[in-house]
Amino acid sequence: MGKRRNLLSEDELRIVTKTSYVESDELAFKLFFEDCQLRNLRPHTLKYYREQFNAIKRTLVTMTEKDIKLLILNMQESGLKVTTINSRLGAIRSFFNFLHRSKRIKKKPMANIKLL
């Protein structure tokens, strides 16, 4: 019997520290919109979510709380109104709540982010 090692390999570390269980935004959005349709959300709501996600133009799946705060600052600096920023934050929050609820991310990056 060999000596037990207490250190993880790089591959093992990547698995343990991985924050997202979805590989891409495309897959996450597909799952999110399928869930929205299963919950029978209105077509207008689905359109609203798509517009908000397209406006952000950033990779959402790997975003952290720090990334979201920077996004808010960038939106403020670009002159967006508070209602527009809050609208986008609401869509992002809904997206991350779904990913967390379906156990596709470990923690919600929007947990400590408040609306403006």
Give 39-83 pLDDT, tens digit per residue: 999 999 999 999 998 888 777 878 889 999 999 999 999 999 999
pLDDT attached to residue 26:
86
The structure's pTM equals 0.76
**Torsion 63-66-67-71 (CA) sign:** positive
Q: Mean of the pLDDT values across residues 92-112?
A: 89
Domain borders along the chain are 21-101
- 46, with CB counted inside 10 A (0-12, 13-18, 19+), is middle
C-beta contacts of 78-86 below 8 A and 24+ residues apart: 82/116, 85/116, 86/115, 86/116
What is the CA 48 to chain-centroid distance, rounded? 16
Residue in the block written with tokens 């090692």? 5
Give 9-44 pLDDT, tens digit per residue: 766 655 555 555 677 788 889 999 999 999 999 999
